[in-house]
Amino acid sequence: MNKMHTLAKTLITIAAVYWLALIAIQIVIYPLIMVSSKSGMSGSWVGIFAFMIVQIVILLVVLQVLYRRNKIADKIVGIEETASPQSQVEWIGFSYRLISVIAGLYCFYRAAGIVSTLLIKILIKTQMVRFGKMAADDQMYSNGLILVVLLAVGVYLLCGAPHFVLWQVKKTKEMFVDTSR
Amino acid sequence: MKRQEFKAFGQIQMIANVCIAVIGIHIALIAINNYILLPRTMFCRSEMMSRLFDMFYVAVSLGVLSAIVFFIIVNNNWLIKKILPDEEPIPAENQKKWFVSSLRIGLVLCGLMLLAGSAESLVYTAKIIVGLPIWGRKLFADIFYDGRFDWSQLLKNSFNVFKTALIAYLIIGAPQFVRWQTKRTFTQGAENE
């Protein structure tokens, strides 16, 4: 295990544990908010059930990242790059992959937050239908769209964003040539 | 005699430089967001007072924003001098590579984090672009027929579009900014030597 592995493992662990803790707090807090609302209990139970399922799926993804941190660190560092760890340039691809994975974890954490917001909005809507149904719908569609964007970007980034990383490495190397003139 | 200017050419100094610039971008966005969101009318009873307060608030916000951009994003060597005053500089042939790559990686990370944190800006910008003809017609009708203009909505929409543009620019690695910053840093460094 070289320096890159250690750094990747450490950062992934810190980020995953941090967002895991925050998601766990959300799982406890939001159902309590929903249960504490007096009316529309039947709607609340369905909401809490849906909320718990989505949150647990997101939690499992983050947990998987945490358990497989060694494998992920191996993939982030890459095979060719471990051959000569002295060169400064080799760190570029590794750094881009590492930041992609960390940003991917953040996307999942944010998606968990959006699910909570979305479900609370649904709950409020069921209780206050008489106050502007259309506005509530518009907000919910927006939140749904944000959720889809976050999950799609999160999955791509967690996979190491291969095309993005290759493109960035190429552009960074081009910039070395540009700035050295 | 010209005073020796401090330049962050150590490995950790460069990383600190990038971290401070990224934090600066976040603070600048928070400052702009607070300016847009603060309901200024609640502090003032008369229209005159409201306008005076508005002018004062615009001046203060612009001042704060300029200070953040100048002292934290662009010229943050003074802060690194306080944190890490005497780190061994890396070999001269690698300095430029280290500076360019660390700054670019930091800005890309900032862009990705902003993307995750402000995904709603992306969706709202898409909505603004799709609804631009309707929104433009409404704006025209508001100004010419009703004689009123919804500044707060315009500010919110502009901020969302600006944020999305900034996210896209950071994710592609802010090439012009990195080039400009590298040129500035290394030209000044050479002049001082």
Inter-chain residue contact A172 with B113, CB threshold 8 Å: no
List chain A residues with CB under 8 Å of B97: 88-89, 176
Mapping DSSP to helix (H, G, I), strand (E, B) and coil, where does residue B89 land?
A: strand
pLDDT band at B15 (very low <50, low <70, confident <90, very high): confident
In tens, the pLDDT along B39-58 reads 555 555 667 777 777 777 77
B86 part of a folded domain? yes
What is the structure's pLDDT at A129? 62
ipTM of model over 0.85: no
In tens, the pLDDT along A135-159 reads 556 777 888 888 899 999 999 998 8
Which range, A46-60, B96-110, B140-154, has the best average confidence (pLDDT)? B96-110
Q: What is the mean pLDDT of residues B17-23?
A: 86
Which tokens sit at B62? 């612009």
What is the structure's pLDDT at A69? 83
- Smallest Cα distance from B62 to chain A, Å: 31
In tens, the pLDDT along A28-80 reads 777 776 666 655 555 567 777 777 888 888 888 888 888 888 888 888 776 54
Interface test mutation site (partner A, options B115, B170, B186, max chain A beta carbons within 10 A): B115
Higher-pLDDT residue of B146, A113? A113
B109 part of a folded domain? yes
Residue B108 pLDDT exceeds 90: yes
Q: Specify the range with the lowest mean pLDDT, choosing from A32-36, A83-87, B2-6, B156-160.
A: A83-87
CB B168 within 8 A of CB B115: no
List chain A residues with CB under 8 Å of B178: 175
What is the structure's pLDDT at A127? 66
Q: What is the mean pLDDT of residues B123-152?
A: 76
Q: What is the mean pLDDT of residues B87-102?
A: 81
Inter-chain residue contact B179 with A175, CB threshold 8 Å: yes
Q: What is the mean pLDDT of residues B175-189?
A: 84
B136 part of a folded domain? yes
Which tokens sit at A57? 């799926």
CB B54 within 8 A of CB B152: no
Residue A86 pLDDT exceeds 70: no
Does B128 lie at the interface with A, CB-CB under 8 angstroms? no
Q: What is the mean pLDDT of residues A10-30?
A: 79
Percent of chain B with pLDDT over 90: 11
Q: How many domains does chain B have?
A: 1
| Calpha distance A55→B136 (Å, rounded) | 40
| Calpha distance A18→B59 (Å, rounded) | 39
State the residue range of the domain holding B33: 11-192
Which tokens sit at A115? 């699910």
Q: What is the mean pLDDT of residues B4-30?
A: 80
List chain B residues with CB under 8 Å of A107: 115-116
pLDDT band at B112 (very low <50, low <70, confident <90, very high): very high
**pTM score, two decimals?**
0.77
What is the structure's pLDDT at B164? 92
B1 part of a folded domain? no
List chain A residues with CB under 8 Å of B114: none
pLDDT band at A82 (very low <50, low <70, confident <90, very high): very low
What is the structure's pLDDT at B171? 93
pLDDT band at B126 (very low <50, low <70, confident <90, very high): confident
Give the 3-state secondary structure of B58-84.
HHHHHHHHHHHHHHHHHCCHHHHHHHC
B6 part of a folded domain? no
Residue B95 neighbours by CB distance under 10 Å? 20
Q: What is the mean pLDDT of residues A83-102?
A: 74
Inter-chain residue contact A149 with B119, CB threshold 8 Å: yes
| Calpha distance A75→B117 (Å, rounded) | 26
The ranges assigned to domains in chain A are 3-180
Which range, A98-102, B28-32, B146-150, has the best average confidence (pLDDT)? A98-102
What is the structure's pLDDT at B1? 44
Q: Specify the range with the lowest mean pLDDT, choosing from A23-37, B39-53, B141-155, B179-193.
A: B39-53
Task: Indicate the DSSP class of residue B118.
Answer: T
Residue type at position A89 = V
Mapping DSSP to helix (H, G, I), strand (E, B) and coil, where does residue A161 land?
A: coil
Residue A91 pLDDT exceeds 60: yes
Q: What is the mean pLDDT of residues B23-34?
A: 83
Higher-pLDDT residue of B156, A134? B156
| Calpha distance B18→B106 (Å, rounded) | 6
User: Taking every pair of C-alpha atoms in chain B, what is the biggest distance, in angstroms?
Assistant: 68
